């Protein structure tokens, strides 16, 4: 059977012969990529493949793959060919490298057309490593949510659920980690397994930690269940406590998880307490019921707070108010239509330093270089953020960077400004009412582990925001506990 009869590659406007090395690459379009996805799914049924369109900082259509190794992908692609010789392994060019700033991009040539594939999982060791996706090892994805377990049942059920993990060494390591948890955190992994999972131990602690933590804490008479419904903050319930499991210090939580606590706090603000109402109005912009996208909420919250960065942008655009993200994007599209990246940065730099926080806020990593700062080194690798994001679309690229400026400025205003103590107290007063304890799990390099618990009522909380400058709404601002 001819290749084009299987995947219709020749139906798309693709080249008929191999492209000469000096010629510009011809990238696969949707029809071609859909055909490749269909073949890959049949060859690697346990893998996950998704078409991703060109959008924003993603300059070309491509395939996003998960639950497969680099070696498996190359083997499968070698069987997709119109000539029987297999797809050629290709070197990704600068355009393809911009498809992901976190994961390597794989490129293959089929009949002269470049097929770009990003395997979106954190890798371990060799080409044969399957890698781990966020939430892949969570109670829900391992089939444990919505059930009740005794300690022995949880240990047995967890071990049985590991059959879903395709990477053999990872599966073996996780099985031993369950044994170590059953031994109250005492024990170690074989050195070769500890080395294998070292690149993904953070992901394991965050997700699999939701299972390991209760195993460590439970006694033989306890019952654990992992809520399947809407239980904000609570990852696992025991007879004696509701636990919010955290692994990494500095990891924040969205305000959307504490909507009821925010409502409760607002209801208790006295009608004459104007100052507290004003402070709370900024945080309330991140309440789920306020509507709009994450970037809309950031723009509106900074408008409410009147931070220096926002006021500076009002002056720059000569407007009385920036309504939302779309409004900001339209202002940017007009203002920076003919500005190159360097000109844009120099124009908005005064807004980045308006808060006088000791350093510019929201300046992309390549900013100093493109503004001509003395001694600044050129970027070592082409990334989606910064110049590439701006060059794809001046209006959207600049609006994203400025939204990030606003979000970072707001973070500094709440955490370091004149009202920082009041805001920290407010955040703590809101969150401490949660009927839960924080269970902080640490998995050491050798596999030993410990869980430290502390009631939310005894913790201190503060505001948190972090996101890439080219995707400022990637994470909604929220709260973070202060150790």
User: pLDDT digits over 333-388, tens only?
Assistant: 999 999 999 999 999 999 999 999 999 999 999 999 999 988 888 887 667 788 98
For the chain, domain boundaries: 3-119, 131-228, 257-431
What is the reported pLDDT for 232? 64
What is the reported pLDDT for 5? 35
C-alpha pair distances (Å), 437 with each of 84, 425, 427, 459, 461? 60, 19, 16, 9, 13
pLDDT under 70: residue ranges of the chain: 1-23, 56-57, 81-86, 123-126, 229-232, 248-251, 381-382
C-alpha pair distances (Å), 303 with each of 65, 174, 236, 260? 40, 47, 38, 25
- The separation between CA 383 and the C-alpha centre of its own chain, rounded to angstroms, equals 16
What is the reported pLDDT for 384? 74
Q: Are 339 and 396 in contact (CB under 8 A)?
A: no
What is the reported pLDDT for 96? 87
What is the reported pLDDT for 16? 39
Segment 187-202, tens digit of pLDDT: 999 999 998 888 888 8
In angstroms, rounded to a whole number, what is the distance separating the alpha carbons of residues 200 and 202? 5
* Class of residue 304 by CB neighbours under 10 A (exposed 0-12, middle 13-18, buried 19+): middle
Please tell me the class of the 3-119 domain. alpha beta
**Residue 113: φ, ψ to 5°:** -100, 130
DSSP state of 324: S
C-alpha pair distances (Å), 184 with each of 157, 160, 340? 18, 20, 58
pTM of the model: 0.76
What is the reported pLDDT for 248? 59
């Amino acid at each position: 059977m001819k290749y084009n009869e299987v995947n219709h590659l020749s139906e798309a406007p693709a080249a008929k012969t191999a492209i000469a090395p000096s010629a510009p690459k011809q990238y696969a379009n949707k029809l071609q990529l859909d055909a490749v996805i269909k073949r890959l799914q049949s060859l690697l049924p346990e893998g996950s493949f998704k078409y991703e369109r060109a959008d924003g900082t993603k300059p070309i259509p491509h395939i996003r793959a998960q639950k497969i190794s680099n070696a498996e992908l190359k083997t499968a692609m070698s069987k997709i060919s119109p000539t029987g010789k297999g797809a050629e392994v290709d070197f990704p060019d600068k355009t393809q490298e911009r498809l992901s700033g976190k994961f390597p991009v794989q490129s293959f040539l089929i009949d002269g057309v470049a097929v770009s594939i990003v395997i979106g999982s954190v890798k371990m060791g060799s080409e044969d490593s399957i890698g781990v996706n966020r939430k892949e090892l969570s109670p829900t994805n391992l089939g444990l949510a919505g059930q009740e377990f005794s300690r022995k049942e949880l240990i047995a059920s967890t071990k049985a659920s590991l059959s879903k993990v395709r990477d053999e060494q990872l599966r073996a390591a996780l099985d031993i980690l369950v044994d170590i948890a059953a031994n109250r955190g005492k024990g170690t992994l074989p050195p070769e397994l500890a080395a294998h999972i070292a690149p993904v131990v953070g992901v394991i602690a965050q997700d699999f930690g939701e299972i390991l933590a209760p195993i460590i804490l439970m006694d033989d008479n306890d019952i654990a269940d992992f809520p399947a419904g809407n239980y904000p903050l609570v990852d696992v319930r025991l007879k004696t406590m509701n636990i919010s499991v955290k692994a990494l210090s500095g990891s924040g939580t969205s305000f959307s998880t504490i909507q009821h606590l925010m409502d409760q706090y607002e209801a208790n603000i006295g009608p004459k307490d104007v100052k507290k109402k004003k402070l709370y109005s900024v945080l309330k912009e991140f309440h789920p019921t306020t509507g709009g996208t994450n970037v809309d909420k950031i723009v509106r919250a900074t408008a409410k707070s009147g931070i220096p960065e926002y006021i500076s942008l009002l002056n720059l655009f000569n407007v009385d108010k920036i309504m939302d993200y779309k409004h900001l994007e339209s202002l940017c599209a007009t203002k920076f239509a003919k500005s190159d990246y360097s000109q844009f940065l120099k124009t908005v730099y005064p807004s980045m330093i308006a808060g006088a926080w000791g350093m510019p806020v929201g300046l992309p990593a390549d900013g100093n270089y493109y503004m001509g700062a003395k001694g600044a080194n050129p970027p070592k690798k082409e990334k989606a953020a910064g110049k590439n994001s701006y060059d794809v679309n001046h209006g959207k690229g600049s609006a994203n960077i400025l939204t990030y400026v606003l979000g970072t400025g707001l973070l500094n205003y709440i955490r370091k400004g004149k009202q920082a103590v009041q805001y920290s107290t407010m955040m703590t007063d809101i969150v401490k009412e949660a009927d839960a304890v924080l269970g902080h799990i640490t998995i050491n390099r050798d596999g030993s582990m410990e869980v430290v618990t502390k009631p939310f009522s005894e913790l201190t909380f503060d505001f948190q925001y972090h996101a890439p400058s080219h995707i400022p709404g990637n994470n909604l601002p929220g709260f973070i506990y202060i150790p």
